[in-house]
């Protein structure tokens, strides 16, 4: 991981963390808070905060509750990934990125499909920001397969389109990408170790796929080169979310 995550942590604490595989796994698991309101989100955060270090706020929660929903999560010391998947003209995206940069979040998404000018504008908007969020370009949504891509006029396999978008993003100065587990190895070979690869579409053995199409288990995604795993429903809709998160962390720790 390329973040200076432990920069402010005393050396002995950092050393203990480095020697604890579960803690290392915690630094790389992001729980998607896909819930309809702030109250449900905070209930999940309170339940999971002894177990998880990262929470993702996406469109459902952000549209319902606004930026204010981020404050208590950040204030409780958690890492927040703001997954707004911005996709608009460069000037508008740059403005939205500047607004988001003031919210205390650690990661922020834009759609790679917005093109190189939009990606460059998003990156430039963070120049000079202290502690900027990691800017991640979303390649092909993990819910899309070849048929869905064909329907939007892209006549190639998702894996090829992911590579095309990742190469374009790298050319625009982006080093963070969101892709499915099935493309992570190819994107890792393009970015090298500097790449921050954030991978949704994670399904532990036996978990329901829901709308996800290009999936893999937590251990496999890590082995293929993921920096971070994003897990939503397999944790948040489990009968016992803490136990579900712990099982994923154990699988991750073993694979690391």
Which are the catalytic amino acids?
Answer: 85
Judged by CB under 6 A, which stretch of 3-11, 99-107, 135-143, 218-226 contacts ligand C5P? 135-143
Least distance from C-beta 214 to ligand C5P, angstroms? 9
Residue 233 interacting with ligand C5P (CB under 6 A):
yes
Q: 125, 118 in Cβ contact below 8 A?
A: no
Q: How big is the chain, counted in residues?
A: 256
Using rule CB under 6 A, residue 35 touches ligand C5P = no
Q: Does 210 bind ligand C5P (CB under 6 A)?
A: yes
Residue 137 near residue 112, CB atoms below 8 Å:
yes
Q: What angle do CA 119, 31, 40 make, to 5 degrees?
A: 110
Half-sphere exposure (Cβ direction) of 18: Cα atoms closer than 13 Å = 10
**What token pair was written down for 210?**
């829901």
Q: How far apart are CA 134 and CA 111, in angstroms?
A: 14
Residue 105 binds ligand C5P (CB under 6 A)? no
User: Shortest gap between Cβ of 15 and ligand C5P (angstroms)?
Assistant: 32
Least CB distance from residue 32 to ligand C5P, whole Å? 4
The first and second tokens of residue 212, run together, are: 């996800």
Helix-then-strand count for the chain, H and E: 13, 8
- Applying CB under 6 A, does 142 fall inside the site for ligand C5P? yes
Binding test (CB under 6 A) with ligand C5P, winner from 25, 29, 31, 32: 32
Give the residue with the Cβ less far from ligand C5P, 14 or 168. Answer: 168
Question: Which residue ranges make up the site for ligand C5P (CB under 6 A)?
Answer: 32, 34, 58, 83, 138, 141-142, 178, 200-201, 210, 212, 230-234
């Amino acid at each position: 991981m390329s973040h200076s995550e432990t920069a402010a942590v005393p050396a002995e604490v950092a050393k203990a963390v480095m020697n604890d595989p579960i803690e290392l796994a915690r630094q790389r698991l992001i729980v998607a808070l896909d819930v309809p309101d702030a109250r449900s989100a905070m209930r999940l955060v309170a339940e999971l905060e002894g177990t998880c270090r990262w929470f993702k706020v996406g469109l459902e929660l952000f549209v319902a509750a606004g930026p204010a929903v981020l404050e208590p999560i950040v204030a409780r010391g958690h890492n927040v990934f703001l997954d707004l998947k911005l996709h608009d003209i460069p000037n508008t995206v740059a403005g939205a990125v500047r607004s988001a940069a003031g919210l205390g979040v650690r990661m922020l998404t834009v759609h790679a499909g917005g093109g190189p000018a939009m990606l460059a504008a998003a990156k430039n908007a963070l120049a000079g920001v202290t502690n900027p969020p990691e800017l991640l370009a979303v390649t092909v949504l993990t819910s899309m397969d070849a048929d869905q891509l064909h329907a939007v006029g892209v006549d190639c396999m998702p894996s090829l389109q992911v590579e095309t978008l990742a190469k374009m993003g790298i050319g625009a100065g982006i080093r963070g990408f969101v892709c499915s587990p099935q493309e992570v190895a190819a994107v890792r070979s393009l970015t090298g170790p500097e790449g921050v690869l954030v991978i949704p579409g994670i399904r532990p053995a036996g978990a329901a796929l829901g709308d996800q199409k290009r999936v893999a288990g937590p251990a496999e995604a890590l082995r293929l080169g993921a920096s971070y795993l994003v897990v939503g429903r397999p944790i948040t809709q489990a009968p016992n979310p803490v136990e579900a998160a712990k099982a994923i962390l154990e699988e991750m720790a073993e694979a690391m």
